[in-house]
Amino acid sequence: MTTVVLVGTLDTKGGEYAFLADRIREHGVEVLLVDAGIVGEPLATPDVTREEVAAAAGADVAALAAAGDRGAAVETMARGAASVVEGLYAEGRLDAIGGLGGSGGSALVTHAMRALPIGVPKLMVSTVASGDTTPYVGSVDVTMMYSVVDIAGINRVSARIIANAAGALAGMAKVTLPELGEEKPIVVASMFGVTTAAVTTARERLEELGYEVLVFHQTGAGGGSMEKLLASGFAVGSLDVTTTEFCDQVAGGVLAAVPERLESAGAAGLPQVVSLGALDMVNFGPRDTVPERYADRNLYVHNPTITLMRTTPDECREIARLVARKLNAANGPTVLFIPLRGVSAIATEGQPFHDPMADEALFSTLREELDTAKVEVHELELDVNDEAFALAMANRLHELLEARP
Amino acid sequence: MTTVVLVGTLDTKGGEYAFLADRIREHGVEVLLVDAGIVGEPLATPDVTREEVAAAAGADVAALAAAGDRGAAVETMARGAASVVEGLYAEGRLDAIGGLGGSGGSALVTHAMRALPIGVPKLMVSTVASGDTTPYVGSVDVTMMYSVVDIAGINRVSARIIANAAGALAGMAKVTLPELGEEKPIVVASMFGVTTAAVTTARERLEELGYEVLVFHQTGAGGGSMEKLLASGFAVGSLDVTTTEFCDQVAGGVLAAVPERLESAGAAGLPQVVSLGALDMVNFGPRDTVPERYADRNLYVHNPTITLMRTTPDECREIARLVARKLNAANGPTVLFIPLRGVSAIATEGQPFHDPMADEALFSTLREELDTAKVEVHELELDVNDEAFALAMANRLHELLEARP
C-alpha cells in the first residue's frame, strides 16, 4: 500500500494534521501519523506515539516534559523522529514524508526528513518558507510550501494550501521511477566559476571513459549536497577540484563548508582526487556587506551582488591544516593535486588575486601536515585550469576506480 | 481535462522540460508548455510559443534578441509569461503551474506564478531553493523544490527529483477543495509579538460578531501575504493593528514592508481600521548584525537571534508621512486609531522603548498630514494593547462592514 508518513507535534497541530491526513486518503493513499509533540495530549490519534518517538532517541517523554528544557526536548524528539522514519523507510512503509508547522515545527520535522535518502519525496508546509530556508532544506530535497497564513486552524486559505499539500504528497508517493537505460557509474565533481575550465575538461574526459559526472557549485549547500550523495552511495568516486568553501568557513564568508565537507568519500572508502580550487577567495554579497574588519583587504567586486576577498597567508595555513586533517583521515585511496601556478582563474600571474606568499603558505603547510603514507601528492608546475592539470586529475581518478576490487 | 502548465526557457532547458512533461502525462494529466526562452531554438515543442509570450508583453522576440540587453529581455518575457498564464487560468486551462531552473530561470518562472491567485498550485524545481527564497516565493504559495544537482541533463539524481516534481504537480492539479461548511466573511489582522494582546482581544470580538479572522505576523512577507489576500478578494475588511514594517522600510531593518503595504484594502474600497502597532521598533538579527552606524542607538536584544532598535523622532516623522499618504489615497472607509499611551508592549511608561518625543513626532506629523475628510481619526488615552483600545477598533470595523451597501 502506498503510504505517506506525516511527522508533527500533534499536541498543538493535531487538528491541522488530521485535516491533512483526510485529504491525503482521498487520493487513495495510506497515512501513518508520527507524534513528536511533548507538552499536551495529542489532538489526533497517532500511529506512532510520542512515547515510541522518545524511546527511539533513548529518552522518556514524561522525563523530557518534567525536565522543563524545551530546547533539549525538541532536539530529542527530532532525533527520535528521524530514527522512526528511517526505520519505516527501511521496512518499505514510507513512500513520501510530510509535515506542517511554524519555525519550531519546521526545524523538528525537516530534521527527520533530512535523515532520509535524496529522492525520497519530502514536503514541508511552513510559515517560514519565504525567507532563508537553509536551516530546513540543507543539502537535500526537502520541498518547502509557504503556508501564507499561520497554521492555526482550518480556514478558507489554509484549507486550500493544505489540500494542495495533500495532493502533492499523494502524487509524489505514487511516483515510479522511469527507466534511464544503461546506468553508468557516477562521479561527483566540485566547481566554481573560476575553476570552470578545469572541471569542464576533467568532466569531458571522465565521460569519454564511461562515467556520468554530476557537477556541484560550491555554494555551501552545493558542497553539502555532494557530500550527501557520496554518503548515500550514489557515486563511486569524487573529483574534488574545488575546495573553496573552507575559505568561507575560516574567514566568515557566506558560502561556508558544511561540517562533513571533504569527509564523506573518505569515510565511505571511495577513491577521491582532490585539488585546491579557489582557495584564494572568500565570498561575500554586495560590497557594503563585507564586514568592517576586512575593509583593508584585497577585495574584488565580481558584480553588484558578489564581492570576493583574497585569503591571507595565515588563513591559507589554517585552511591547509583543515584539508590535511580531513584527507589524512580518509579510508579510501586519496590523491591531492597541487597547482603551483595558481589555484583559480584570478590567482595566476598578472591577475588580481595572484599572491605567491599566500600560495606558498598553503602549499608548504600541506607538505608539512599531510600523511604521505595515506595521501598521494602531485605537485604540478601548472595552474588549476590548465588542460594538462585537469586531465591528470581525471586520469588518476579513473586509474583508482579501475583498480578497485 | 486536468492540465498542468509548464513555463520555461525551452532554448536551454528543453530536454529537461520534455522529461518533466512526459512524467506528468504518466499520471493522466495534460501538459501545456509555454516557452519563455529567447536565445536559441526551443529544444522541445511549445504549445504557447515565445513569439506569443513576447507579444503578450507587447514585444517582439526578434527585436528583444537583437537588442542584446539580456536583463530587459528576461524581464519582458517574465511579464509576457505572467499575462499568458493569467489568461490560461481565466479560461479554465490551468490547474497547476510548474517550472525548473537556476537562479535566472527561477526568477522568470516564479514571476509568472506570482501573478496567479493564492491557492492555485505552484511548484518550482530550483537550484536556489536552499537559501533565501524571498525573491521567488514573495508573499504567495510558490512551492520550492531543491534540485540538489544542477538542472543540466537527465541523470540518476535529476531524474528522481523531476519525477517527484511531476507527481506533485499532477497530484495538486487533481485536488478538489473540501467543503468547509458555513463560509463566514474573512477579516485580516496584522500582528507582532508586542501587539499580541491587542490582536487577540480584537480577533475574539470579531469572531463573536461572526467573522473569520486571519492573522498575519508582520515579517515583511507576512504583510505582503495580507495585502495579496486583500487584493485577491478573499477578505471583506482589514484590521491593520500593526504597521511596524514601515520602520524597517525607513531605517533598513530586516522585516521591511512590501511596496503595496497598506494600499490593497484602500485600492479595493474595503473598510479598514488601522493603528500604529510596533512603530517603535526596527528589527535586526543577532546583535552583531546591526549596522555599525546604529551602534549608539537604543538597542534591545530580544533574544540571540532578534535585536530591536527604537525609532527616532526623525524616523517617526518619515513613517507618519508614509502612512498618511497611503491612507489619504484609500477608496474605502478608512479609520486610524492612535494609542497615545504607547504603540507596543515595550513602548509604554517604564518600558525600554518608552519615548514620548518620538511618539509625539509620530502623532503630530499624522495630525498634520492626514486628510480628515477621507480618514476618520480616533485618539485614545490608552496604549495599543489595552482591552478598550482593541475592542474599539474591532467594533468600529464591524460598524463599517455592517454599513456596506
The enclosing H or E element of B202 equals helix B196-208
Please give the backbone phi and psi of residue A272, each rounded to the nearest 5 degrees, phi first.
Answer: -140, 135
The reported pLDDT for the residue numbered B97 is 98
Which amino acid is residue B232, in one-letter code?
A: S
Confidence of residue B102 (pLDDT cuts 50, 70, 90): confident
Selected for mutation to probe chain B from A140, A143, A190 (highest B CB count within 10 Å) is A143
Confidence of residue B304 (pLDDT cuts 50, 70, 90): confident
Q: Which of B118, B133, B159 sits opposite A130 (nearest CB)?
A: B133
The reported pLDDT for the residue numbered B288 is 83
The chain A residue lying nearest B143, using CA atoms, is A145
Q: Are residues B81 and B122 in the same domain?
A: yes
Residue B259 to chain A, least CA–CA distance (Å): 17
Confidence of residue A401 (pLDDT cuts 50, 70, 90): very high
In a domain, B180, yes or no: no
| B155 with A225: Cβ contact below 8 A | no
Q: How many helices (H) and strands (E) does chain B have?
A: 14, 14
In a domain, A178, yes or no: no
Confidence of residue A193 (pLDDT cuts 50, 70, 90): confident
Flag whether pLDDT at A181 surpasses 80. Answer: no
Q: At A226, is the secondary structure helix, strand, or coil? A: helix
Residue with cell 475628510: B373
Residue B157 to chain A, least CA–CA distance (Å): 7
Return the CATH number at A195. Answer: 3.40.50.12030
In a domain, A289, yes or no: yes
Asked if residue B96 lies in contact with residue B173, where contact means CB atoms within 8 angstroms, the answer is yes
The three cell numbers locating residue A139: 543539502
The chain B residue lying nearest A255, using CA atoms, is B131
The reported pLDDT for the residue numbered A376 is 98
Question: For residue A116, what is the DSSP state?
Answer: S
How far, CA to CA in Å, does B291 sit from each of A290, A292, A295, B252, B288? 11, 10, 15, 9, 8
| B144 with A129: Cβ contact below 8 A | yes
Closest to B164 (Cα-Cα) out of A164, A172, A118, A5 = A172
Return the CATH number at A149. Answer: 3.40.50.12020
Flag whether pLDDT at A372 surpasses 90. Answer: yes
Neighboring chain B residues of A129 at a CB cutoff of 8 Å:
133, 137, 143-144
Q: What is the pLDDT of residues A300-323, one digit of tens each?
A: 988 777 899 999 999 999 999 999
Q: Which of B144, B149, B219 sits opposite A144 (nearest CB)?
A: B144
Q: Are residues A398 and A365 in the same domain?
A: yes
Residue A375 to chain B, least CA–CA distance (Å): 28
Q: What is the per-residue burial (b if ≥16 Cβ within 10 Å, else e) of A11-30? A: bbbbebbbbbbebbeebebb
Residue with cell 531553493: B129
| B234 with A157: Cβ contact below 8 A | yes
In a domain, B233, yes or no: yes
Confidence of residue A53 (pLDDT cuts 50, 70, 90): very high
Residue A14's contacts (CB-CB under 8 Å, 6 or more residues apart) are: A37, A42, A43, A44
Confidence of residue A292 (pLDDT cuts 50, 70, 90): confident
Q: Among A173, A205, A240, identify where a domain stops.
A: A173
Selected for mutation to probe chain A from B156, B161, B199 (highest A CB count within 10 Å) is B156
Q: What is the pLDDT of residues B241-260, one digit of tens each?
A: 999 999 999 999 999 999 99
Helices (H), A91-155: 103-113, 134-137
Residue A187 to chain B, least CA–CA distance (Å): 11
Q: Are residues B284 and B326 in the same domain?
A: yes
Q: Are residues B198 and B166 in the same domain?
A: no
How far, CA to CA in Å, does B193 sit from each of A39, A92, A188, B217, B277? 22, 43, 46, 8, 10
ipTM of predicted assembly, 2 dp: 0.85
Q: Are residues B31 and B122 in the same domain?
A: yes
Residue A293 to chain B, least CA–CA distance (Å): 11
Q: Which of A133, A167, A177 sits opposite B159 (nearest CB)?
A: A177
| B163 with A177: Cβ contact below 8 A | yes
Q: Are residues B100 and B198 in the same domain?
A: no
The enclosing H or E element of A299 equals strand A299-303
Q: Are residues B49 and B115 in the same domain?
A: yes
| B175 with A152: Cβ contact below 8 A | no
Neighboring chain B residues of A229 at a CB cutoff of 8 Å:
148-149, 157
Q: How many domains does chain B have?
A: 2
Confidence of residue A246 (pLDDT cuts 50, 70, 90): very high
Closest to B31 (Cα-Cα) out of B109, B107, B97 = B97
Q: Are residues A81 and A210 in the same domain?
A: no
| B170 with A169: Cβ contact below 8 A | no
Q: Among A173, A205, A221, identify where a domain stops.
A: A173
The reported pLDDT for the residue numbered A69 is 82
Please give the backbone phi and psi of residue B384, each rounded to the nearest 5 degrees, phi first.
Answer: -60, -30
The reported pLDDT for the residue numbered B250 is 97
Please give the backbone phi and psi of residue B273, each rounded to the nearest 5 degrees, phi first.
Answer: -115, 120
Please give the backbone phi and psi of residue B23, each rounded to the nearest 5 degrees, phi first.
Answer: -65, -40
In a domain, A179, yes or no: no
User: How confident is the model over B256-279, as a mean pLDDT?
Assistant: 97
Over its C-alpha atoms, chain B yields an Rg (Å, rounded) of 24
Q: How many helices (H) and strands (E) does chain A have?
A: 14, 14
Residue B132 to chain A, least CA–CA distance (Å): 4
In a domain, B329, yes or no: yes
Neighboring chain B residues of A178 at a CB cutoff of 8 Å:
22-23, 159, 163
Question: For residue B55, what is the DSSP state?
Answer: H
Which amino acid is residue B376, in one-letter code?
A: E
Of chain B, the end-to-end C-alpha distance in Å amounts to 39
The reported pLDDT for the residue numbered A102 is 86
Q: Are residues B195 and B284 in the same domain?
A: yes
In a domain, B253, yes or no: yes
Q: Are residues A191 and A157 in the same domain?
A: no
The reported pLDDT for the residue numbered B396 is 98
Selected for mutation to probe chain B from A145, A218, A248, A283 (highest B CB count within 10 Å) is A145
The reported pLDDT for the residue numbered A88 is 98
Flag whether pLDDT at A393 surpasses 90. Answer: yes
In a domain, A166, yes or no: yes
Q: Are residues A112 and A197 in the same domain?
A: no
Q: Are residues B166 and B191 in the same domain?
A: no
The reported pLDDT for the residue numbered B211 is 95
Q: Which of A137, A163, A180 sits opposite B156 (nearest CB)?
A: A180
Selected for mutation to probe chain A from B128, B136, B175 (highest A CB count within 10 Å) is B175
Domain that holds residue A262: 186-402
The chain A residue lying nearest B139, using CA atoms, is A148
Selected for mutation to probe chain A from B106, B155, B157 (highest A CB count within 10 Å) is B157
Q: Among A146, A173, A200, identify where a domain stops.
A: A173
How far, CA to CA in Å, does A67 sit from each of A59, A81, B82? 12, 20, 53
Of chain A, the end-to-end C-alpha distance in Å amounts to 39
| B148 with A132: Cβ contact below 8 A | no
Neighboring chain A residues of B214 at a CB cutoff of 8 Å:
149-150, 155, 157
Q: Could you give the CA distance from residue B104 to residue B106 in angstroms, rounded to a whole number?
A: 5
